[in-house]
A and B are shown apart, each in its own frame.
Chain A
Amino acid sequence: MQQIINFLIRYKIFLLYLFLLLISCIFTFQSHSYHQSKFLNSSNYISGSIYTFSDNVTSYFGLREENNKLVEENKRLRDKLFNNVVLSPSLIDSTSVDYEVVRGRVINNSYADQRNYITINKGRNDSIVQDMGVITDKGILGIVENTSDKFSTVQSILSDKSNINAKIKNSNHFGSLVWENTTDYNVVQLIDIPRLVPLTIGDTIVTGAMSSIFPENIPIGTIKRFDLDNSKSFYFIDVELFYDMTNIDNIYIIRNLNRKEVLELEAETEAND
């Protein structure tokens, strides 16, 4: 017993080191599976407030550019509205909509890591929950991962854990959007498109209908390069994004009002198997 205690005292520094290293490794690896660890993220109160403060200061420098972006988007939406000759009542009736949009702002953005997260200034108080889609004025941005009362973290599409259903515009061939070449933040990869699909460089990639997170046909990017993968039966496509992931300010969070129903139905079907 005496020896054990002596041993512990002599090596206490080393044991403390091992213990702390173990803790950090547990934090790191438990979340490799799918979701980020519950409390080690920047959506908590302190870091959220500090990032809000810093964003309040820095956002003044980009006001004019941000205004231009919003005007541009307004113009696009108005074009659509005016060309839609018969304004159908379902566009106005709010009880029959499938999606609800909440506006928010990015208060912290990252794109240089392997797994990038974006912190936004909307949280549980605005009924933001996990797995809601986040888009910019030009395309998709990511999926809500963790929420606190006032803030949320968003798993960016620039993350090696990200996997989003996408398809080629005006066809129904769908695949998965991933980020494999993790050093280039303007290019994501589309995999699992069968080789019989005719492709051309410059084709537009949009979100697919399989996902209960994003509505269909949100633009993502254009085909930059394509090649067959190792199995020679699927394409490996480099998709160049429509927008600059390094310069995002205003974003929209999408709530799919039917998501619960879809998930319940799918769970029920699986349980019956």
Chain B
Amino acid sequence: MINSTSFLIVLRFILLVLLQVLVFNKLNFFGYINPLIYILFLYWYPIKQNRTTFIILCFFLGLCVDIFSDTLAINAAATVTIAYLRPTIMRFVFGVNYEFQSFKLNNSTKAQQFTFLALLIIIHHLVYFTLEIFSFSNSLLILQKTLTVGVSTLILGILFSTLFSSKKE
């Protein structure tokens, strides 16, 4: 059981990095919109797992994407931030429910899943573009990019999560 879970996580890690760098980094929709689809890794990651491993794994996920897209360590910083904040976001979205043993992402309502994903994306993109642009004189550009790229990531994220969600029991 543990082996199959870890195997799934590693497989997801590799596939999402490849998908991000080979497909979505080259999209350049409207010139600059490249959805950061690899965030789905954090959305899908099992809830009852060691937090330390989770944060370290997310750091390397960001770093892998960074190495491929020559963005220094901006992705790593943004991903580590949402990895750290994930339990807080989950408590906010799902209430105390999510701490129960039986809780599963699939059992929650669509609205909850949507909010959860949206919050992950907003925080991630805000950190990402703040670090990338790094000047307050361009704060409008930061917000504009966060909004447009965030919406595109959200749409694709919902599509992917519906496509690959495991069947409801």
Chain A residues at the B interface, C-beta cutoff of 8 Å:
12-14, 16-17, 20-21, 23-28, 31-32, 36-37, 40-42, 44, 47, 50-51, 54, 108, 110-117, 119, 153, 183, 185, 246
CB distance from A179 to the nearest CB of B (A): 13
Q: How many residues of B contact A (CB 8 A)?
A: 36
> Once the chains bind, are B73 and A23 in contact (CB under 8 Å)?
yes
Within 8 Å CB of B115, what residues of A? none
> Once the chains bind, are B25 and A110 in contact (CB under 8 Å)?
yes
CB distance from A227 to the nearest CB of B (A): 19
Q: Which of B25, B34, B70, B73 has the most CB of A within 10 A?
A: B70
Within 8 Å CB of A42, what residues of B? 67-70
Given A16-B55, A24-B62, A50-B22, check contact A41 B67 (CB 8 Å): yes
Within 8 Å CB of B28, what residues of A? 111-112, 246
> Once the chains bind, are B84 and A28 in contact (CB under 8 Å)?
no
CB distance from A230 to the nearest CB of B (A): 14
Q: Is residue B155 within 8 Å, beta carbon to beta carbon, of the partner chain? A: no
CB distance from A31 to the nearest CB of B (A): 6
> Once the chains bind, are A47 and B73 in contact (CB under 8 Å)?
no
8 contacts between A and B (CB under 8 A): A13-B55, A28-B131, A36-B70, A37-B72, A47-B67, A110-B69, A110-B70, A111-B28
> Once the chains bind, are A31 and B84 in contact (CB under 8 Å)?
no
List the A residue with the shortest CB-CB distance to B76: A24
CB distance from A156 to the nearest CB of B (A): 10
Contact with A along B46-62 (1 / 0, CB 8 A): 00000110011001001
Tell me whether chain A's interface is mostly helix, strand or loop, or mixed: mixed
Contact with A along B1-39 (1 / 0, CB 8 A): 000000000000000001001100100100111100000
CB distance from A27 to the nearest CB of B (A): 4
> Once the chains bind, are B68 and A47 in contact (CB under 8 Å)?
yes
List the A residue with the shortest CB-CB distance to B62: A24
> Once the chains bind, are A41 and B70 in contact (CB under 8 Å)?
yes
Within 8 Å CB of A14, what residues of B? 84
Known interface pairs A20-B56, A28-B72; 16 further A-B residue pairs with C-beta atoms within 8 A, sorted by A's residue number: A13-B52, A20-B76, A24-B59, A27-B76, A41-B70, A42-B68, A47-B68, A50-B18, A50-B68, A51-B68, A110-B25, A112-B31, A112-B32, A119-B70, A153-B70, A183-B141
> Once the chains bind, are A17 and B84 in contact (CB under 8 Å)?
yes
Given A13-B51, A114-B132, A114-B133, check contact A25 B68 (CB 8 Å): no
CB distance from B145 to the nearest CB of A (A): 9
Within 8 Å CB of B147, what residues of A? none
Given A36-B70, A112-B32, A113-B132, check contact A16 B77 (CB 8 Å): no
Within 8 Å CB of B21, what residues of A? 47, 50
> Once the chains bind, are B69 and A27 in contact (CB under 8 Å)?
no
List the B residue with the shortest CB-CB distance to A17: B84
> Once the chains bind, are A17 and B80 in contact (CB under 8 Å)?
yes
Given A16-B55, A40-B66, A42-B68, check contact A28 B22 (CB 8 Å): no
